[in-house]
Amino acid sequence: MGRANRATLLVTRSEVERCLDPATLVDALRDGFVDYSARHDGRARRVRSSLPGPGTATVLFPGTAPGVPAYTVKVHAKFPAETPAIRGVLCLHDMDSGDLLAVMDSTSLTAVRTGLAGALAAHVLARPDADVVAVIGAGIQGTHQLRSLAALRRLRRVLVYDILTSRAESFARSVTDELGLPAIVATSVAMAVGDADISLIATWSRTPFILPGMLRAGAHVTTLGADEPGKAEVDPELIRTSLFVCDDRALAIELGALHGVAADAGSRAVELGNVLSGAHPGRTSNREITIYGGVGLAFQDTIAAWQIYQAVRDRGMARTLDFLA
């Protein structure tokens, strides 16, 4: 790409939030998923390690995407008791020279692109008439998933469950205020998902709580909490008997929702990119249960970071620092 000025843009969390445009980002993510599943090189890398304290650290690399002349390396950590729970930075590098184009906060970028991916999968896999949504986990990710799904399809009603009732109540009020949707607080997970066509789940659970028999026929579940070994939201037997779709099959088996599930479930898992491209039909009946379990891939970071980088440059927003000085 080449630059006369090698100064690196420094982008804060609030600037990331102002520069992300979910409406255009979702189309780019769709293309990115298709490209990712079509090629056999440049597959995702995730390096994870526990920290001495309560957190876990993860590196996602190399982030590349079609049409983006840059790559990303993201370093972040998760601290479940903190708000926000994800802390870290993303580095955007020139593809030809390796120049460090930008360093940006990864918190909002990760939350938005993850929510968009989960909602995109739900929209593609759910029945066309599905319009009642359950949100399990009334946190930042639940907000982003629901907001993104409401932009993709018409919704009629929302049920929300959280282990903290006060948080569920606050979430329900915000859903009505922002999206104009009636939202009620469910008294149990079973009540929420049993009445829903689509369930959006993002928790820190290490014990499956979406069990066989809970879901109505033809339901869809997006489960995003199971992104590290030991975390689980959906019972293995339910995964085995449903159409399971993931972002990366190998990573889903290594550390995602398929970790510890019977081998035949992994062999039958379908990647979202193949559904989006039409290489796999996805849902084949109105009674089939579909599940999407994503771990999050580096190309998603690259697509979002490139959008942010271009917007920051166009608006002259960020500070710069020459790391080579």
Contact 74, 90 (CB under 8 A): yes
Peptide bond into 62 cis (omega under 30): yes
**Domain architecture of the chain: domains with CATH:** 8-110+298-321 (3.30.1780.10), 127-293 (3.40.50.720)
Tokens of 304: 């979002």
The mean pLDDT of 250-278, rounded to a whole number, is 92
| pLDDT, position 313 | 94
Peptide bond into 84 cis (omega under 30): yes
pLDDT digits (tens, 9 = 90+) for 70-118: 999 999 999 988 988 899 999 999 999 999 999 999 999 999 999 999 9
| pLDDT, position 1 | 54
pTM: 0.94
- The percent of residues in the chain predicted with pLDDT above 90, rounded, is 87
Comparing CA positions, the residue from 90, 18, 57 lying closest to residue 300 is 90
Distance between CA atoms of residues 119 and 98, nearest Å:
33
Distances (CA, A) of 324 to 6, 103, 143, 321: 8, 14, 40, 9
- The residue type of 41 is D
